[in-house]
Amino acid sequence: GDSVTQKQGQVTLSEDDFLFINCTYSTTTYPTLFWYVQYPGQGPQLLLKVTTANNKGISRGFEATYDKGTTSFHLQKASVQESDSAVYFCALVLSSGSWQLIFGSGTQLTVMP
Amino acid sequence: EAAVTQSPRNKVTVTGGNVTLSCRQTNSHNYMYWYRQDTGHGLRLIHYSYGAGNLQIGDVPDGYKATRTTQEDFFLLLELASPSQTSLYFCASSGNTLYFGAGTRLSVL
């Protein structure tokens, strides 16, 4: 069945470090892919979205590229700040009608000052 | 700005207890969802609905009922709560993306 895999449960960086969070997916179609961010005490919120049409999403300094060949959708940021500390979820949508999202297990990012 | 409001924010009950989690959206969205969030599992879909009176089963529905009374209101019911249902619960509605509430933390002792 369809699935999303995030193998990094926790990532700890220092300010200005480069961020890379791995996400791979498995599906029989070419899905729309998302990164959601969850700050402490809040619900997840959309960070960026990528479709088969545009292949790359950029938002708030974060970037993710849709690679159909490797079925990957890694999240990157050139220089993280302490305020980026949060949980990051990769997700794919099964169908545009019902917007059922399948989420990865999440990556807790901690950025040390 | 899309708005999804959940209540209560925190709830403690005992095994076998009866719990209702409430969700209201003011986005005029057709679809609403209930997810649970557990460490190591991410967010898992319990139930969802595409309109008043409609209910669809998600990926982890066992032990949960849900009811959509109006376009705005979606309820999650745990009629015989068990410790395995201790979790953080999120409601969401969807337009061109999911909009989540702030969550309800439920502890079943």
pLDDT score at A96: 54
Burial of B34 per CB tally in 10 Å (0-12, 13-18, 19+): buried
Entry field: residues in chain A? 113
Contact B45 A101 (CB under 8 A): yes
Strands B4-7 and B19-25: antiparallel
Strands B65-68 and B56-57: unpaired
Q: What's the per-residue H, E or C state across B17-52?
A: CCEEEEEEECCCCCEEEEEEEECCCEEEEEEEECCC
Q: How far apart are CA A32 and CA A95, in angstroms?
A: 9
CA B74 to chain CA centroid, Å, is: 8
Residue B84, classed as helix, strand or coil, is helix
Chain B residues near any Cβ of chain A (below 8 Å) = 4, 31, 40-45, 48, 50, 56, 58, 90, 92, 94, 97-98, 100-103
Give the mean pLDDT of B1-26: 94
Question: CB-based contact (8 Å) between A100 and chain B?
Answer: yes
DSSP state of A83: G
Q: How far apart are CA B63 and CA B44, in angstroms?
A: 14
Beta strands in chain A (DSSP E): 3-5, 10-14, 19-21, 24-26, 32-38, 45-50, 56-59, 62-65, 75-77, 86-93, 101-103, 107-112
pLDDT, tens only, A5-44 = 999 999 999 999 999 999 998 887 778 889 999 999 899 9
The Cα of A18 is separated from the nearest Cα of chain B by a number of Å equal to 24
pLDDT, tens only, B32-57 = 999 999 988 899 999 999 999 999 99
pLDDT, tens only, B63-93 = 999 999 999 999 999 999 999 999 999 999 9
pLDDT score at B31: 93
Smallest Cβ distance to B42: which of A45, A100, A104? A104
pLDDT, tens only, A45-82 = 999 998 877 788 899 999 998 888 888 889 999 999 99
| Beta carbons within 8 Å of A28's beta carbon, 6+ residues apart | A2
Cβ A81 vs Cβ A18: under 8 Å: no
For residue B86, how many other CB atoms are within 10 A of its CB? 16
Contact A99 B98 (CB under 8 A): yes
Is the pLDDT confidence value at B20 over 80?
A: yes
Strands B104-108 and B10-13: parallel
